[in-house]
Structure 1
């Protein structure tokens, strides 16, 4: 049962429904925290060298890049819920308040880390770095060739999310009175098909020729630049997250009737497993030693939407199970989820610093694993306490209470 279920004898008030779900979405909930913690641990694991990866995690490490897609689904759901609930309740969206919330949440820690990278070259985790204006304008994910600018490349996903923040409020306002189930289904289907078609065309025209010449490292760079990083190719998770928010806001009884938690969890798990099988099928690239983030045609085309759909079903199930799992006392999960943004911003730089301080030879085996994760959490906690927490408190002080969510 979800947080907005009402007795059949009680009239349904859509304004009460959207307000209660918005409050539930923006409150601390264990289900989203579990996914958020899993996502950041996967991302951190993929950037850990093999020599410091414990054997039980060796089979998981190549899939760590999917953590970003989990983040996209969470962002789509949470931001979609906030905006659509506000539009339904107030018949408008306060653009200024929304962008201020996002700015206070995203920019302070991001700008500080970027300043360290820009002004202290010794901290850079790669020999080259994109121009600072690319990061400041959140356009770094367009034309990002890791061979020409490998430092702070994790900012590509922040660029995708910033573009999402710019577009979604406008889309919500435009659709709030005209959207029907049929129209929304058509729009979502169009986005999915267009994304798959574009990735297919780009893989065939840009990545394929390099792969056919067995220039595999060049093929990887082109794949990341043209297929993996650009916003227009990474809308699957964000879109499915927004769809979940819309269904739970406006069709809650429909979701409750046809997607009880264990059915949604089963469907979501099946989709995730199938997507991972597709991602694992390397085909003719099995012997190339290319990282698993490089996907042959099937994975690049259908793997992303299938995995995102699976995570969306799992998220919906966890949200409905909140009354049960919310009783669990898992402070480590909540702590990791709280630090996830700071961890994402700093983990690659921290490992580079670890190499400078401890020496690369000492970052092998279990000791290397412990040093990496310990120092990452120390730096992330420092960034959260000194920057993130204080700017969130300032945001809450400056913005009216009704605009503090998010």
Structure 2
């Protein structure tokens, strides 16, 4: 299977950053590293951009060549990729309450129908809440093949840009309404209402979190529909690096007050644009840019994402707390535990189903674009 070292590096960084962010469930990394872990939620947005780009390219490239929409193959491949590891982790959450990082868990049917991010009671049921991003992805998988088919029937830059502007404007409108209608009245009141409105109304719902996926899809559309433009910017890597770094620094600065009005409304499209430029830059990196271990982390990143809170909780309750460990020793145990559990889930569950998927692909001669191999 062909891998792209630049995208693997971004995927590895994204999963490490997310896990650092979620270290709050075991007390965090300490004050010295709080600045790093507090921005780790951006790793999810990077995953969204990567997913939009990889899936977008996988679907748009054959459609632009005039091939029919292979929707059955697409949904089958997604099912083999997503469901086995997800159902395994969900079964652990349901069957062993003591393994959860928090006692409360939403009903299993909400996870299985991928409606968790729309229905969650975060105050009482935060366990396995990070599955919200998988719900957003699943909604994207469900709808985008048909949007891609519609986009390529009569390709039009104007129509594509109009759709992108409409999606961004809709998300900004939803987030501004939630902030002004729900969050602003609760800002100066005691209790968790302010933060809960943010999580349940702005951060989790699919309709408010499409910026990253859209940025990735538009990047794929640029590569497929305007290859000359793509090549033009690929050879101007210095300009890409400067633009992506500048926009990312601006987004970082804006999100100093993550729950504020302007970050909530305009921060996500700004962040997604900067990350899309990083993806464009990384997609052209050659094999010499490989970082040891990044390929492996990228391969097991999905299993790590699903299982890392279980691993953090297990290490905390079984080792760190009984042995009263702190500092580097505790951090090392957490790192080893998270990697061990994630790797076990990948090799025992995810990889066998991926190999099964490959055998079916070979029998059916299903072509897969190189840029989408990792998905």
Tell me the TM-score normalized by structure 2. 0.93
User: Following TM superposition, by how much is the alpha carbon of 1:329 offset from its aligned partner in structure 2, in angstroms?
Assistant: 4.2
Which of 299, 319, 341 is the equivalent residue of 2:263? 299
Q: Where in structure 2 are the equivalents of 1:254-265 lying within 5 Å?
A: 254-258=229-233, 260-265=236-241
Residues 269-288 of structure 1: pairs in structure 2 closer than 5 A:
269-280=245-256, 282=257
Shift of 1:278: 0.4
Which has the larger displacement, 186-195 or 88-97?
A: 88-97
The answer to whether the Cα contact below 8 Å between 1:355 and 1:363 also exists between their aligned partners in 2 is: no
Displacement of 1:359 in angstroms is 4.4
Structure 1 gaps of 5+ residues are 1-25, 283-291
Among 334, 339, 342, which residue is 1:372 paired with? 334
Q: 1:258 to 1:121 in 2, by over 3 A?
A: closer
For the pair 1:187 / 2:163, whether they are aligned, the reply is: yes
The Cα offsets for residues 267-316 of structure 1, whole Å up to 9 and x where unpaired, read as 11111110110001x3xxxxxxxxx5xx2101101111101100101111
Give yes or no for the alignment of 1:391 onto 2:353: yes
Using the alignment, how far apart are the partners of 2:137 and 2:325 within structure 1?
A: 33
| Alignment partners' CA distance in 2, 1:96 and 1:365 | 50
What is the aligned counterpart of 1:152 among 128, 149, 171? 128
1:33·1:334 contact (CA, 8 Å) conserved in 2?
A: yes
TM-score w.r.t. the length of structure 1 is 0.86
* Larger deviation, residues 267-276 vs 128-137: 267-276
Deviation at 1:363, TM superposition (A): 4.6
CA contact (8 A) 2:56 2:221 kept: yes
Distance, in Å, in 2 between the alignment partners of 1:34 and 1:265 is: 16
Question: CA-to-partner distance for each residue in 1:170-217, whole Å, 9 max, x for gaps?
Answer: 1011121223011111110111111111110111111111113244x2
Is the Cα–Cα contact under 8 Å of residues 268 and 311 in structure 1 kept in the other structure? yes
Q: Specify the alignment match of 2:10 in structure 1.
A: 35
d(CA) in 2 for partners of 1:76 and 1:328?
23
CA deviation string 1:227-280 (max 9, x = no partner): 100000000000000000010111121233356222112111111110110001
Instruction: Give distance in 2, aligned partners of 1:210 and 1:192.
Output: 26
Q: CA deviation at 1:148?
A: 2.1
1 CA distance for matches of 2:157 and 2:143?
Answer: 20
Say whether the 8 Å CA contact 1:262–1:317 is kept in structure 2.
Answer: no
Q: RMSD of aligned C-alpha atoms?
A: 1.7
Alpha-carbon distance in structure 1 between the residues aligned to 2:329 and 2:7:
31
* 2:59 pairs with 1:83: yes
- Find the partner of 2:186 among 196, 206, 210: 210
Shift in Å, 1:92:
1.6
